[in-house]
Amino acid sequence: MATHEHHGQQQSLQNEAAQELLDKLGNTISPELLIHALTHRSFAHEHPGMPNNERLEFLGDAVLELVSTETLFTVHPDLPEGELAKMRAKAVSEEALSAIARDILQLGPFILLGNGEKDSGGADKDSILCDTVESLIGAVFLEHGIEGARITVHRLVDATLAEVATEGPALDWKTSLTVKAHELGRGEPRYRMQVSGPEYQQIFTATVFLGEEENSLAEAQGSSKRKAQLAAAQQAWHSLSEHGQEHGEAR
Protein backbone atom coordinates (compact mmCIF):
# COMPACT_ATOMS: atom_id res chain seq x y z
CA MET A 1 0.00 0.00 0.00
CA ALA A 2 2.80 2.42 0.99
CA THR A 3 4.53 1.71 -2.33
CA HIS A 4 1.30 2.44 -4.20
CA GLU A 5 0.93 5.73 -2.31
CA HIS A 6 4.57 6.61 -2.99
CA HIS A 7 4.03 5.94 -6.71
CA GLY A 8 0.94 8.17 -6.66
CA GLN A 9 2.89 11.01 -4.99
CA GLN A 10 5.71 10.63 -7.54
CA GLN A 11 3.21 10.74 -10.39
CA SER A 12 1.59 13.86 -8.98
CA LEU A 13 4.99 15.57 -8.58
CA GLN A 14 5.86 14.66 -12.19
CA ASN A 15 2.55 16.09 -13.36
CA GLU A 16 3.18 19.32 -11.43
CA ALA A 17 6.67 19.62 -12.88
CA ALA A 18 5.37 18.98 -16.41
CA GLN A 19 2.69 21.62 -15.86
CA GLU A 20 5.34 24.12 -14.77
CA LEU A 21 7.25 23.44 -17.98
CA LEU A 22 4.09 23.93 -20.07
CA ASP A 23 3.31 27.17 -18.21
CA LYS A 24 6.76 28.47 -19.15
CA LEU A 25 6.09 27.52 -22.78
CA GLY A 26 2.76 29.34 -22.55
CA ASN A 27 0.96 26.41 -24.18
CA THR A 28 -0.45 22.93 -23.69
CA ILE A 29 1.05 19.78 -25.21
CA SER A 30 -0.64 16.39 -24.83
CA PRO A 31 1.29 14.06 -22.46
CA GLU A 32 2.23 11.63 -25.24
CA LEU A 33 3.55 14.34 -27.54
CA LEU A 34 5.38 16.04 -24.65
CA ILE A 35 7.25 12.80 -23.88
CA HIS A 36 8.02 12.40 -27.60
CA ALA A 37 9.44 15.96 -27.68
CA LEU A 38 11.65 15.27 -24.65
CA THR A 39 13.02 11.91 -25.90
CA HIS A 40 16.64 12.11 -27.02
CA ARG A 41 17.82 9.53 -29.56
CA SER A 42 20.08 7.90 -26.91
CA PHE A 43 16.98 7.07 -24.80
CA ALA A 44 15.02 5.81 -27.82
CA HIS A 45 17.98 3.64 -28.76
CA GLU A 46 17.81 1.93 -25.35
CA HIS A 47 13.99 1.59 -25.59
CA PRO A 48 13.26 0.07 -29.02
CA GLY A 49 10.00 1.19 -30.57
CA MET A 50 10.07 4.59 -28.85
CA PRO A 51 10.29 7.54 -31.27
CA ASN A 52 13.01 10.17 -30.68
CA ASN A 53 12.52 13.92 -31.01
CA GLU A 54 14.66 14.57 -34.11
CA ARG A 55 11.75 15.01 -36.55
CA LEU A 56 10.02 17.38 -34.12
CA GLU A 57 13.29 19.28 -33.77
CA PHE A 58 13.49 19.60 -37.59
CA LEU A 59 9.97 21.04 -37.63
CA GLY A 60 10.55 23.32 -34.62
CA ASP A 61 13.73 24.72 -36.14
CA ALA A 62 11.77 25.94 -39.19
CA VAL A 63 8.95 27.39 -37.05
CA LEU A 64 11.46 29.19 -34.80
CA GLU A 65 13.25 30.63 -37.81
CA LEU A 66 9.98 31.83 -39.39
CA VAL A 67 8.63 33.54 -36.26
CA SER A 68 12.03 35.10 -35.43
CA THR A 69 12.35 36.39 -38.99
CA GLU A 70 8.81 37.79 -38.89
CA THR A 71 9.59 39.59 -35.60
CA LEU A 72 12.88 41.10 -36.81
CA PHE A 73 11.31 42.10 -40.15
CA THR A 74 8.49 43.94 -38.35
CA VAL A 75 10.49 45.49 -35.50
CA HIS A 76 13.39 46.75 -37.66
CA PRO A 77 11.83 48.15 -40.86
CA ASP A 78 15.01 50.06 -41.79
CA LEU A 79 17.59 47.30 -41.47
CA PRO A 80 18.98 45.57 -44.59
CA GLU A 81 18.65 41.83 -45.11
CA GLY A 82 22.29 41.15 -44.16
CA GLU A 83 21.90 42.72 -40.70
CA LEU A 84 18.60 40.93 -40.08
CA ALA A 85 20.21 37.61 -41.05
CA LYS A 86 23.08 38.16 -38.58
CA MET A 87 20.65 39.04 -35.80
CA ARG A 88 18.51 36.00 -36.50
CA ALA A 89 21.54 33.69 -36.60
CA LYS A 90 22.67 34.98 -33.21
CA ALA A 91 19.17 34.75 -31.64
CA VAL A 92 18.49 31.16 -32.74
CA SER A 93 22.07 29.90 -32.26
CA GLU A 94 22.90 26.89 -30.11
CA GLU A 95 24.40 29.26 -27.54
CA ALA A 96 21.24 31.39 -27.30
CA LEU A 97 18.78 28.48 -27.25
CA SER A 98 20.74 26.48 -24.67
CA ALA A 99 20.73 29.59 -22.43
CA ILE A 100 16.93 29.79 -22.85
CA ALA A 101 16.70 26.07 -21.96
CA ARG A 102 18.70 26.65 -18.78
CA ASP A 103 17.48 30.06 -17.62
CA ILE A 104 13.83 30.16 -18.68
CA LEU A 105 12.72 26.54 -18.97
CA GLN A 106 15.13 24.79 -16.53
CA LEU A 107 14.86 22.01 -19.10
CA GLY A 108 17.75 19.67 -18.24
CA PRO A 109 15.96 17.38 -15.73
CA PHE A 110 13.05 16.80 -18.14
CA ILE A 111 15.09 15.42 -21.06
CA LEU A 112 14.93 11.63 -21.45
CA LEU A 113 18.49 10.43 -22.05
CA GLY A 114 20.14 7.05 -22.46
CA ASN A 115 22.37 5.93 -19.59
CA GLY A 116 25.66 6.74 -21.31
CA GLU A 117 24.51 10.22 -22.34
CA LYS A 118 23.08 10.86 -18.87
CA ASP A 119 26.35 9.82 -17.19
CA SER A 120 28.40 12.13 -19.41
CA GLY A 121 26.30 15.18 -18.42
CA GLY A 122 24.05 15.21 -21.49
CA ALA A 123 21.32 17.14 -19.66
CA ASP A 124 23.61 20.18 -19.61
CA LYS A 125 25.09 19.92 -23.11
CA ASP A 126 24.38 22.98 -25.27
CA SER A 127 23.57 20.86 -28.34
CA ILE A 128 21.03 18.63 -26.54
CA LEU A 129 19.37 21.56 -24.72
CA CYS A 130 19.10 23.55 -27.96
CA ASP A 131 17.65 20.59 -29.93
CA THR A 132 15.07 19.92 -27.20
CA VAL A 133 13.87 23.54 -27.21
CA GLU A 134 13.33 23.20 -30.97
CA SER A 135 11.48 19.89 -30.59
CA LEU A 136 9.15 21.45 -27.99
CA ILE A 137 8.41 24.31 -30.41
CA GLY A 138 7.70 21.66 -33.08
CA ALA A 139 5.29 19.89 -30.71
CA VAL A 140 3.46 23.15 -29.94
CA PHE A 141 3.14 23.81 -33.69
CA LEU A 142 1.69 20.33 -34.29
CA GLU A 143 -0.99 20.83 -31.64
CA HIS A 144 -1.79 24.52 -32.06
CA GLY A 145 -0.59 25.54 -35.53
CA ILE A 146 1.41 28.67 -36.27
CA GLU A 147 -0.70 30.95 -34.04
CA GLY A 148 -0.01 28.83 -30.97
CA ALA A 149 3.64 28.41 -31.92
CA ARG A 150 4.01 32.20 -32.21
CA ILE A 151 2.96 32.58 -28.56
CA THR A 152 5.65 30.13 -27.41
CA VAL A 153 8.41 31.48 -29.66
CA HIS A 154 7.70 35.10 -28.62
CA ARG A 155 7.72 34.08 -24.97
CA LEU A 156 11.06 32.29 -25.31
CA VAL A 157 12.99 34.35 -27.85
CA ASP A 158 11.76 37.97 -27.83
CA ALA A 159 14.17 39.03 -25.07
CA THR A 160 17.10 37.58 -27.03
CA LEU A 161 15.92 39.24 -30.25
CA ALA A 162 15.81 42.59 -28.43
CA GLU A 163 19.25 41.96 -26.93
CA VAL A 164 20.98 41.12 -30.23
CA ALA A 165 19.57 44.32 -31.73
CA THR A 166 21.65 46.34 -29.24
CA GLU A 167 24.85 44.35 -29.60
CA GLY A 168 26.23 45.79 -32.84
CA PRO A 169 29.64 44.19 -33.36
CA ALA A 170 28.73 41.29 -31.09
CA LEU A 171 26.58 39.92 -33.92
CA ASP A 172 29.77 38.83 -35.62
CA TRP A 173 33.00 39.64 -33.78
CA LYS A 174 35.28 38.21 -36.48
CA THR A 175 33.80 40.41 -39.21
CA SER A 176 33.77 43.41 -36.87
CA LEU A 177 37.45 42.87 -36.04
CA THR A 178 38.40 42.75 -39.73
CA VAL A 179 36.50 46.01 -40.36
CA LYS A 180 38.09 47.69 -37.31
CA ALA A 181 41.61 46.55 -38.34
CA HIS A 182 41.08 47.97 -41.86
CA GLU A 183 39.78 51.27 -40.43
CA LEU A 184 43.00 51.60 -38.40
CA GLY A 185 45.21 50.67 -41.35
CA ARG A 186 46.30 47.38 -39.75
CA GLY A 187 46.59 43.97 -41.40
CA GLU A 188 44.05 41.17 -41.84
CA PRO A 189 43.33 39.19 -38.62
CA ARG A 190 44.77 35.68 -38.54
CA TYR A 191 44.08 33.03 -35.90
CA ARG A 192 46.56 30.50 -34.51
CA MET A 193 44.81 27.50 -32.93
CA GLN A 194 45.89 25.08 -30.21
CA VAL A 195 43.91 22.14 -28.82
CA SER A 196 44.33 20.60 -25.38
CA GLY A 197 42.39 18.34 -23.04
CA PRO A 198 40.98 14.82 -23.56
CA GLU A 199 39.13 13.86 -26.76
CA TYR A 200 35.67 14.11 -25.14
CA GLN A 201 36.30 17.54 -23.58
CA GLN A 202 38.71 19.40 -25.82
CA ILE A 203 39.67 22.98 -25.09
CA PHE A 204 40.48 25.19 -28.07
CA THR A 205 42.77 28.21 -27.68
CA ALA A 206 42.72 30.91 -30.35
CA THR A 207 45.43 33.59 -30.59
CA VAL A 208 44.81 36.58 -32.89
CA PHE A 209 47.50 38.38 -34.86
CA LEU A 210 47.08 41.22 -37.35
CA GLY A 211 48.78 40.85 -40.73
CA GLU A 212 52.46 40.03 -40.36
CA GLU A 213 52.71 41.43 -36.82
CA GLU A 214 54.58 39.18 -34.38
CA ASN A 215 52.84 40.35 -31.20
CA SER A 216 49.46 38.78 -30.58
CA LEU A 217 46.47 41.05 -29.99
CA ALA A 218 44.38 38.65 -27.86
CA GLU A 219 44.00 35.04 -26.78
CA ALA A 220 40.88 33.17 -25.66
CA GLN A 221 39.58 29.66 -25.04
CA GLY A 222 36.37 27.92 -25.99
CA SER A 223 34.75 24.49 -26.29
CA SER A 224 34.97 24.68 -30.11
CA LYS A 225 37.27 26.31 -32.65
CA ARG A 226 34.55 28.80 -33.58
CA LYS A 227 33.78 29.81 -29.97
CA ALA A 228 37.48 30.30 -29.19
CA GLN A 229 37.98 32.44 -32.31
CA LEU A 230 34.88 34.56 -31.60
CA ALA A 231 35.98 35.15 -27.99
CA ALA A 232 39.50 36.11 -29.14
CA ALA A 233 38.07 38.39 -31.85
CA GLN A 234 35.85 40.09 -29.24
CA GLN A 235 38.84 40.82 -26.97
CA ALA A 236 40.91 42.01 -29.93
CA TRP A 237 38.10 44.31 -31.14
CA HIS A 238 37.87 45.98 -27.70
CA SER A 239 41.64 46.29 -27.54
CA LEU A 240 41.77 47.96 -30.98
CA SER A 241 38.83 50.23 -30.11
CA GLU A 242 40.60 51.53 -26.99
CA HIS A 243 43.85 51.87 -28.92
CA GLY A 244 42.08 53.79 -31.70
CA GLN A 245 40.46 56.17 -29.20
CA GLU A 246 43.78 56.88 -27.49
CA HIS A 247 45.38 57.71 -30.82
CA GLY A 248 42.43 59.90 -31.74
CA GLU A 249 42.77 61.85 -28.47
CA ALA A 250 46.57 62.13 -28.85
CA ARG A 251 46.14 63.81 -32.20
Q: How far is CA 242 from CA 3, 177, 239, in A?
A: 66, 13, 5
167 is known as an active-site residue: no
> Active site residue: 61, 83, 95, 117, which one?
61
The gap from C-alpha 1 to its chain's centroid, in whole angstroms, comes to 46
Q: Name the amino acid, one letter, at 93.
A: S
CA dihedral 185, 239, 86, 159 (to 10 degrees): -150
Indicate the angle between helix axes 81-91 and 54-75, nearest 10 degrees. 140
20 is known as an active-site residue: no
Binding-site entries: 57, 131, 134
Binding-site entries for Mg(2+): 57, 131, 134
> Active site residue: 54, 117, 134, 167, which one?
134
CA 194-89-205 angle, 5° bins: 10
Q: Name the amino acid, one letter, at 36.
A: H
Write out the catalytic residue numbers. 61, 134
